Amino acid sequence: MYFRTLLFLLIIFPGCTYARVLEVSPASRLSLAGAIGLAKNGDTVVVIGGRHRSGNLLIQKSMTLLGKNKPVLDGEGKYEILTIQAARVKVSGFRFERSGRSNIDDYAGLKAQGADFLEVSHNEFSETFFGIHVSKSNFVHIHHNQLKASSLLEYELGNGIHLWKCHSARIHRNRIEGHRDGIYFEFVTKTSIQSNYSYKNKRYGLHFMFSNDNSYRNNTFRNNGAGVAVMYTARVHMEGNTFDQNWGASSYGLLLKDIRDSEVLNNRFTGNTSGVYMEGTSRTRFERNTFKNNGWAVQLQASCDGNSFHRNNFIGNTFDIATNGSLVLNTTDHNYWDKYQGYDLNRDGTGDIPFYPVSLFSMIVERIPPAMLLWRSFMVFLLNRAESVLPAITPEDLKDHSPSMKPYDLR
């Protein structure tokens, strides 16, 4: 048993037969940069309090960097603070402050390159350009960090948590505020994003590009420039998230552009300019979501096909569904619509006549946006009434054949 344990340790930390603990404190003579330089594979450097202005710290070995009493790593507005270029590194318990800013080099509070099995946890990032920037690293775990930036100009901000060309990462229980994008993925696969709070970021709370086979669950995206953008991507599972108060002239809770074969389940879209905006989206399932008090619940462009909407609640939205074409290649059935005025003679809980969720006025606004100024006018009331009686412009085939008479309990 002892031999097998020793063999395992040698595989994990080649060249090491034991691990040391090196301590850095305000009273010690050993500097943080010096301790990192002395450390061997498998060693732990413990930093006890203090403020450390060491320029750019570089880790090129498998080790643990552990902070106690929240020591501060200060980039002085000039440097990237910590760069990691080794596998199996753990960084926990620090406060990263004031990194340098560079759009060419993407300075970060913590940057990792080729750092498989990296763990970054329980840190605070304040006024860093990028917060955590990870590239070409697999099996990364980033959790329980707080990241906050406060610049008013988007070009002065990087992303809070940024992953590029990674797979099998876990991004859990982080709080990101004030960055360009809260979380950004490009060429990232098989990764889980769960229970994060992404708030007041300038562009997106979460942004996917060319990133297949990922999931994000139970996150909150609130008051961002836009909530979440999923672009040029396939097989994304989106479940249990809250998209709230993402409000502005071109804002939405969720943007889906050129994606396919995905799922949007049990989410809440509340108080957004547009709950979901879909363009070039195929074979994506929307089920048991709540769309409440949005400007548009769903903007479904004519370029979308094979998508289905079942057992969702549409409550208090200005427009439930809007589209820019008459060709219908998607299905909407068994949803609850608070605007439905049909009847249920056999009392089976399902309306006896179909519901047409696209109003004439919503189609006019799609073509002539300034027409929104006429909203709630008597003329618009007459237009929608006339179209509901004798449909002429709204898509005939975009209808819910079996609307629910009561909202679903989606708690």
Q: Residue 10's pLDDT is what?
A: 45
pLDDT band at 194 (very low <50, low <70, confident <90, very high): very high
If we measure between CA atoms, which residue out of 331, 393, 329, 391 comes closest to residue 366? 393
What's the predicted TM-score (pTM) here? 0.88
The CATH class of the 14-224 domain is mainly beta
Alpha carbons within 13 angstroms on the beta-carbon side of residue 332 total 26
Separation between Cα atoms, residue 83 and residue 59, nearest integer Å: 6
Residue 216: beta bridge partners? 193, 238
Q: Is a pLDDT exceeding 60 seen at residue 311? A: yes
Q: What is the domain partition of the chain in residue ranges?
A: 14-224, 238-358+395-411
Residue range 29-33: average pLDDT? 90
Q: Residue 391's pLDDT is what?
A: 57
Q: What are 292's two structure tokens?
A: 């409440």
Q: Is a pLDDT exceeding 90 seen at residue 408? A: yes
Task: Render pLDDT for 143-180 as a digit per residue (tens, 0 to 9).
Answer: 999 999 987 777 789 999 999 999 999 999 999 999 99
Q: Is a pLDDT exceeding 50 seen at residue 15? A: no
Contact criterion met (CB below 8 Å) for 119 and 97: no
Q: Which of 26-30, 296-300, 332-336 has the lowest mean pLDDT?
A: 26-30
In whole numbers, what is the pLDDT of the chain averaged over residues? Answer: 88
Local structure of residue 41 (DSSP, 8 states): T
Cα distances from 387 to residues 359, 363, 390, in angstroms, run 8, 12, 5
